[in-house]
């Protein structure tokens, strides 16, 4: 069994969505003083490699603790959209993948933007799905859609069309993935287990792929 880590590390100096405060780490207990080490960690629920629940966008939408644990695990496929050079991915760009998408639980979009993690360029210019492409994806009984960029919608969007199209179908959104190029043309099981937070709208995840 070969496991590929698809998760960025969480640290006080990590990139965060514009306007969001970065994590705060406080070393509250030390081995020297207390006989053990323990940190107080303060962070937003959509920090780093994380998952969006339907309640992130919709009042009354399902929260993390309302989704079954099996919703965060299943067959994955990576679609390479990194070479197209487009800012918007249309339905016609996805149609050739219909067969493999229909056989998957999770669709992961490889934009190539994870290479810019930690740089200002990470927050601008990444490809996003058009409204029609998002509707095309949402027609399948998927558990989730992931991307190796800061968001499935453009930074600065206030309408969040892709989020809304997916989350209204309980298709969870996983953002800030990495290492997706290692999964091109591979069969794998994808896992993105969040913390089981009561009324949780989102959570950092340890996203991994297990190659078959």
Average pLDDT over residues 9-38: 96
Q: Is the pLDDT of residue 12 over 80?
A: yes
Report the pLDDT value the prediction gives residue 87, as an integer from 0 to 100: 85
| Higher pLDDT among residues 1 and 112, named by residue | 112
Tokens of 101: 């998408």
Report the pLDDT value the prediction gives residue 86, as an integer from 0 to 100: 73
Q: Is the pLDDT of residue 212 over 80?
A: no
Report the pLDDT value the prediction gives residue 39, as an integer from 0 to 100: 96
β-strand 106-110 against 73-80: which pairing, if any? parallel
Average pLDDT over residues 135-154: 97
Average pLDDT over residues 33-58: 97
Q: Is the pLDDT of residue 50 over 70?
A: yes
**Average pLDDT of the chain?**
95
Each residue's pLDDT tens digit, 159-202? 999 999 999 999 999 999 999 999 999 999 999 999 999 999 99
Domains and CATH numbers, the chain: 2-211 (3.50.30.50)
Report the pLDDT value the prediction gives residue 91, as an integer from 0 to 100: 94
Report the pLDDT value the prediction gives residue 106, as an integer from 0 to 100: 98
Detail the DSSP E strand segments found in the chain.
Answer: 2-5, 24-29, 38-42, 50-52, 73-80, 88-89, 106-110, 128-129, 144-147, 172-175, 188-191, 202-204, 208-211
Report the pLDDT value the prediction gives residue 84, as an integer from 0 to 100: 64
CA distance 87 to 154: 9
Each residue's pLDDT tens digit, 57-111? 999 999 999 999 999 999 999 999 886 667 899 999 999 999 999 999 999 999 9
CA distance 196 to 193: 9
């Amino acid at each position: 069994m070969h496991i590929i880590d698809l998760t960025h590390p969480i640290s006080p100096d990590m990139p965060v969505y514009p306007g969001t405060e970065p994590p705060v780490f406080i070393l509250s207990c030390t081995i020297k003083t207390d006989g053990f080490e323990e940190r107080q960690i303060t962070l937003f629920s959509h920090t780093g490699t994380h998952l969006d629940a339907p309640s992130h966008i919709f009042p009354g939408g399902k929260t993390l603790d309302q989704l079954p644990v099996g919703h965060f695990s299943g067959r994955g496929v990576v679609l390479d959209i990194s070479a197209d050079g487009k800012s918007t991915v249309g339905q016609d760009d996805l149609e050739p993948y219909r067969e493999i998408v229909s056989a998957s639980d999770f669709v992961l979009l490889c934009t190539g933007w994870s290479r810019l993690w930690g740089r200002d360029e990470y927050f601008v210019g990444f490809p996003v799905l058009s409204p029609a492409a998002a509707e095309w994806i949402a027609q399948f009984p998927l558990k989730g859609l992931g991307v190796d960029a800061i968001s499935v919608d453009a930074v600065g969007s206030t309408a969040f069309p892709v989020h809304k199209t997916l989350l209204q179908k309980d298709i969870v959104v996983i953002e800030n993935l990495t290492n997706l190029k290692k999964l091109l043309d591979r069969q794998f099981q994808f896992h993105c287990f969040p913390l089981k937070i009561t009324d949780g709208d989102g959570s950092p995840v340890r996203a991994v792929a297990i190659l078959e």
